[in-house]
Amino acid sequence: MSGPSTYVPKSALGRWFESRLPIAGLIHGSFIAYPTPRNLNYWWTFGGILSFMLVAQIVTGIVLTMHYTPHVDLAFASVESIMRDVNWGWFLRYAHSNGASMFFVAVYIHMFRGVYYGSYKAPREVLWILGVIIYLLMMATGFLGYTLPWGQMSFWGATVITNFFTAIPLVGDAITTWLWGGYSVGNPTLNRFFALHYLLPFMIAGVVVLHVWALHVVGQNNPDGIEIKNVNRDAVAFTPYATIKDSFALVCFLILYAWFVFQVPNYLGHADNYIEANPLSTPAHIVPEWYYLPFYAILRAIPSKLGGVIAMFGSIAILAFLPWLDTSRVRSGKYRPMFKIFFWAFVLCCLGLGYLGSMPAEGGYVIAARLLTTYYFGFFIIILPLLGIFETPKPVPASIADAVLARNGGAAAQPAE
Amino acid sequence: MISFKSISLALAISTMAFTGAMAAEEGHGATPPRQEWTFGGFFGKYDRAQLQRGFKVYREVCQACHSLNLLRFGNLHDAGGPQFSEAQVKALAAEYQIKDFNDKGEAIERPGRASDRFPKLFVNADAAAAVHGVAPPDLSVIAKARSYSRGFPLFLLDMVPGFAYQEHGVDYIVALLNGYTKKGEDHWNEFFPGHQIAMPKPLSDGQVEYPDNAPKTVQQYSHDVAAFLMWAAEPKLEERKKTGFNALIFLAIFAGLLYFTKKKIWKDAH
């Protein structure tokens, strides 16, 4: 797709440098000349939004680190001192904690978009799997970060999550002790969680580079799921077309983000996390952050501890096999009438699991969680493989230009440049 | 126009995705009635006179058992707070005895200064529990550390512009302070989870003198002290809401400009 760069710097110094390290050509090829399908809709702007959120989290996080103390006796007070005594500290902290939520909002939309439009299908399997790895790293980073303020939910959340490892037969207890650096969550745990919380975002950034690289090798998918055949008819240049569209979408997203930071900054948190961690007092209900709730529901839906942990990790791991579970020849859900129904049912299933994850694990909630867990796995293991065989897809347009033409009621598509 | 439909859909989906942790909280006590607060809403600001009265209630009643560790005396003078005068804060701080060391390294007690924190009432939680049975919680962030569940679907409404509701904590505090409704049972509270509360009824009518004409009732005291505790927990609330208003205006205009630029650039490509 991108091919060798045709970029020629205008200045002599630029040409001198380019022949030694062609970084300007790389940037030009990736973000300026790169051909992007002309039929992309706004669901395709979330990749750019996610890049912005990663940078925003790293920048606010680094400044917060300058004022934070990772010690069980001092952490809670140091966060409060950021809120009170550090210039713009309240903004940094609320931007960072709500930023994590916004990051997950964007990643969930990005992932559902990928599923709906079949973005994981050949030749984009590696691109998709890299995305699953990023998501996994994000979940780890979010969890580690939530322990740092050392409130009640920080402490008990960390206790619950690290206890998963005790479910491993034979060596579980030894592994958990090793993770904790002691016999319970304590100061060594907080110290290592802090170190890892600082490390993982840079690992995410590394995998993001691979993700973007893979994207630029295979090219972007699009709502019609057809490859670019004629660059002049089917594509537009990344700059200015995608740049301006992504910028507009990003600023709209920032309005949502700003609303949370400035107006309802504690809505997505839990009141108990404003109580300093107390190992002797367990909160009535231990709940993780909202973005883990569907997986928490799956964990608790399984009546055995080891089974629950396997199901929970399995529910994420299964995403990596999606390219091979979906047997349909047609890529985009737009042309798959039955898939559409099962897809939206899957979205509702995930939201339902999220709600159930926030409720106590008792009575009807558990039954509902079991039903939805069955659908969650059934969607991947049964529905997607069979749909490819039994579904009759609608006819797919011959080219992206034809698809755009059909949508615009026959108006001739102008060449982009 | 696909763009706006898609964006609004995106927002709707993300909105639905927030099955907030609040839903998880189970209210064993009665649901606190909703109160009117000057600091609620988009342009919320604290009522200075209310914060000053609330501080008086804290100092004369709550402080007997509850510390306010995270605050400094000087905060009482800060913009966006009760805004006592510098002289008032200085005089107030001097009434407290602060543990310190002199030039020879000997432990001493000296009069407080504006830069000192409100002193701890006990060396640690065990010492507090030994006196009170249960250690009385520090009140610095109590207004954010208490909440109650509004249940599905109301909790979803709490984040929506125009309906946003953030004052669960203060409403709970007011309800709790007025919740000793069983005559003769000093530790029974309508709003406390489980109803058995360690703290006996702390307020009664006429207990605290007010410099202004505000009624000297438990109702009024509880509102004033809850507002004060909200400020203690969220001293930058006014700055936050004001900055947020400017930020949202800026972003809205910026988004508008980008939208028309985008339309112009894409005119020939569609």
Least confident span in A315-319, B5-9, B70-74, B135-139 = B5-9
Residue type, A71: H
The length of chain A in residues reads 417
A247:B258 CB<8 A = yes
Instruction: Count how many Cα atoms sit within 13 Å of the Cα of residue A211 in the half-sphere of its side chain.
Output: 19
pLDDT score for A6: 76
Q: What is the pTM of this model?
A: 0.92
Q: Crossing angle for the helix pair A337-358 and B2-17, nearest 10 degrees?
A: 30
With CA atoms as reference, report the closest residue to B71 among B127, B32, B114. Answer: B114
Pairing of strands A235-237, B97-101: unpaired
**A128 CA to centre of own chain:** 12
A267:B20 CB<8 A = yes
pLDDT score for B4: 42
pLDDT score for B152: 86
Residue type, B49: A
pLDDT band of residue A87 (cuts 50, 70, 90) is very high
Alpha-carbon gap, residue B125 to A277, rounded angstroms: 13
Mean predicted lDDT score pLDDT of chain B: 90
Of A90, A275, A289, the CB nearest to B236: A90
For residues B180-186, give the mean pLDDT: 93
Instruction: Give contacts of A82 with chain B, Cβ < 8 Å.
Output: none
For residues A221-237, give the mean pLDDT: 95
B20:A254 CB<8 A = no
The DSSP letter of residue A183 is S
Question: Which residues 140-169 of B are in CB contact (within 8 Å) with A?
Answer: 140-142, 144-147, 152, 158-159, 161, 164, 166, 168-169
Of B6, B14, B258, the CB nearest to A244: B258
pLDDT band of residue A5 (cuts 50, 70, 90) is low
Provide φ and ψ at A276, rounded to 5°.
-60, 145
Alpha-carbon gap, residue A345 to A322, rounded angstroms: 17
Question: Which residues 9-38 of B are in CB contact (within 8 Å) with A?
Answer: 10-11, 13-14, 16-26
For residues A212-219, give the mean pLDDT: 94
Chain segment A162-203, per-residue pLDDT in tens: 999 999 999 999 999 999 999 999 999 999 999 999 999 999
Number of H helices, E strands in chain A: 18, 2
Q: Given a cut of 50, is residue B13 above it in pLDDT?
A: no
Q: Given a cut of 70, is residue B2 above it in pLDDT?
A: no
The yes/no answer to whether this complex scores an ipTM above 0.90 is: yes
Chain segment B193-240, per-residue pLDDT in tens: 999 999 999 999 999 999 999 999 999 999 999 999 999 999 999 999
Strand partners, A151: A276
Decide: B137 and B107 in contact? Cβ < 8 Å: no
A416:B269 CB<8 A = yes
Instruction: Give contacts of A244 with chain B, Cβ < 8 Å.
Output: 258, 261-262, 265-266
B193:A357 CB<8 A = no
For residues A221-236, give the mean pLDDT: 95
Decide: A361 and A310 in contact? Cβ < 8 Å: no
Give me the percent of chain B exceeding a pLDDT of 90: 85
Q: Which residue has the tokens 């979940």?
A: A139
Instruction: Give contacts of A259 with chain B, Cβ < 8 Å.
Output: 161, 244, 248
pLDDT score for A74: 98
- Number of Cβ within a 10 Å radius of residue A150: 23
Q: Given a cut of 50, is residue A378 above it in pLDDT?
A: yes
Structure token pair of residue A31:
């973000």
